[in-house]
Amino acid sequence: MHLPRGFAVSQLSVLGLATLLASGVSAQTLTRDNGSPVGDNQNSQTAGARGPVLLQDTQLIEKLQRFDRERIPERVVHARGTGAFGEFVASENLSGLTRASLFAAAGKKTPVFVRFSTVVHPSGSPETLRDPHGFATKFYTDQGNWDLVGNNLPIFFIRDAIKFPDMVHAFKPSPVGNVQDPNRYFDFFSHVPEGTHMLTRVYSDQGIPASYRMMDGNGVHAYKMVNSHDEVRYVKFHWKSRQGEKNLTRAEAAKVQAEDFNNLTNDLYAAIRRGDFPKWDLYLQIMKPEDLDKFPFDPLDATKVWPGIAETKVGTMTLNKVPDNFFETTEMVAMAPSHLVPGIEPSEDRMLQGRLFSYADTQLHRLGANHQLMPINQPLVKVDNYNSNGAGNPGKRTGDVNYQPSRQAGSAVDDSQHKYVATPLAGNTQQAAIAKTDNFTQAGSFYRSLSKQHRENLIGNLAADLGQVKNAEIRQIMLSHFYKADTEYGTRLTAAVKGDLTDVQQRAKALVD
C-alpha cells in the first residue's frame, strides 16, 4: 500500500495498519459522513506541539457533533423497548369480512416487525418492573403498512384520551423529587373509577410478564372491518402465545432483577438465535353494529372486554430475526394506530380516536416529517403522494407536478373504492361521559376468575403501593372502588392496608355506576 508523499500518520495508525496487513485482513478506509477518507482518527490537529486544537479539524468537529446528537427524544411512554422481525401467515380467506388484503387468502404471508415495551418506565429501566407491556406489530402489507398497536392486557386505564396526559403525569416521577410516587397516581385514580378494572389486572401477576415469548397481546380497542360491499363489523384483536403465558410474582421479579434486569430482551433474543422461534396466533372477536346496545356496558369503551363473544383464529405470527441494529429498528420504528389499510378502520372508541392523532404526532416530533421514509418504517409498496421537503427528505421526487388534482400525465389520483365507510350520525355535539360506564363489574369478574394464590398475590401487590398513600381520604376512596368491584376483594385489601372497613362499605354503597 502506497501513501501520498508528505502524508503524516501516527505511530498508532502505522502499527494498526501493519497488524491488519500482517494478518491478511483487507483494511477498509475510514471515511467522514461525506465519504471522504480520514487520514488520522487518533490525534486532533493542533497549532504546533503545544498549541490549541484547530477548528479546521473537520474529523474532530464532525465526530463531536454527531456524538452530541446520537440521542433522539425518548418516547414519553413505551420508551423501554425490544424489537424483532418475522412474518404473519393468514389462516383463511376473510374477504367476506374485510378488504384488507393480508387476510385475502389462506397461507398468504406478510412481513412484520414487532416492538415489545414497558409503558411508564424510561429507557434502560429494569424489565422486571410492574407495568402494562406494549405489543405493537407493523404489518408490511401489499396495501401499505398496518400498525396494530396494543398491550399485553386487553383493556386500558381510561376511556377518553383527554385524560391521557394527566394519567401519564401521575404515573411518572414527581416533578419535585423525580421519584415515582403511589400518592400521586392513586390521587388521580381516586377521581377515575373506570380505572378499577385495569388496576386490578396490572396489580395481578400479569403486570410482570416472565417472558415476551410467553405473553399475550391485545389490540385493546374495537376496530371496524369493512368488506367490498361496505358491510361493517366491529372487531377486537387478540394475540395468543403458543408458548403459553408465564408471569412473575413480586418476589420472583426481585430475584430476576438482581440477576438480569434485561431478562425479557435476553430471553427473546436467545430463543430466536437458537432457532426456537416464538409464535402467536391472532384471534378476532366479531360484533355486528346492531348488537352494540345489547350489553350492560359500552363495547366501544376501552376499559372493557367482550365476555361471551367467541374468538376466531385468523392467522399465526412467527418472530425469526433479531435486528442487526437496535437504534435503526427498535428505536426508530414509528408505530401509530392511524397507520391503517383498506378494510380496517377506527371505531368510535374515544380513547382510540385520541390515539389516532397523538401517536403519529409524537413520531413526527421524535423522528421528523420524513420518518416514514426510514427503512424500518418504509412500506414495501410504492408511496406516491405530494408530501414534500422537510428535514431528512431523500430527494427522490421527480417531475413538475406536486399538487393534486392535476390533468398532467402520470399525476396521482385518489380512488373512491378506498373511501371510509359512511357512518350514520345523530344528535348534538357534546362533552359528556358515555351512558353506560359500568366501572366495577368487570374488575370484580376478573378478581373472581383468579386462583386463590393469584388473589393473594394481587392483594399483596396492590397493598404494597396503596399502603404508601398518606392521604386517608384518597386511600378510603380507592378501597371503596375495589370493594364495589367485589366485597371479598375490598375487604381483604382494606385489612391489608389497615383501612376503615365500615367507612369503605358506606362509600361503596354510595357509588353510582
Active site residues: 78, 151
Are the C-beta atoms of residues 188 and 134 closer than 8 Å to each other?
A: no
State residue 166 phi and psi, 5-degree precision. -70, -40
**For residue 319, what are the β-bridge partners?**
86
Q: What does the angle CA 302 – CA 303 – CA 305 come to, to the nearest 5 degrees? A: 85
The C-alpha torsion from 185 through 186 and 191 to 195, rounded to 10°, is 80
Do 98 and 343 meet the contact criterion of CB atoms below 8 Å apart? yes
The three-point CA angle 156-468-302 to 5° equals 5
Report which DSSP code applies to 142: B
Cell numbers linked to 276? 426456537
The number of helix segments (H) and strand segments (E) in the chain equals 14, 10
The set of cell numbers assigned to 8 is: 503524516
Cβ(212)–Cβ(494) below 8 Å = no
Question: Rg for the chain (alpha carbons), in Å?
Answer: 27
Three-class secondary structure assignment of 106-119:
CCCEEEEEEEEEEC
Comparing CA positions, the residue from 317, 278, 309, 312 lying closest to residue 102 is: 317
* CB burial string 322-341: b at 16+ within 10 A, e below: bbeeeeebbbbbbbbbbbbb
Distance of CA 64 to the CA centre of its chain: 32
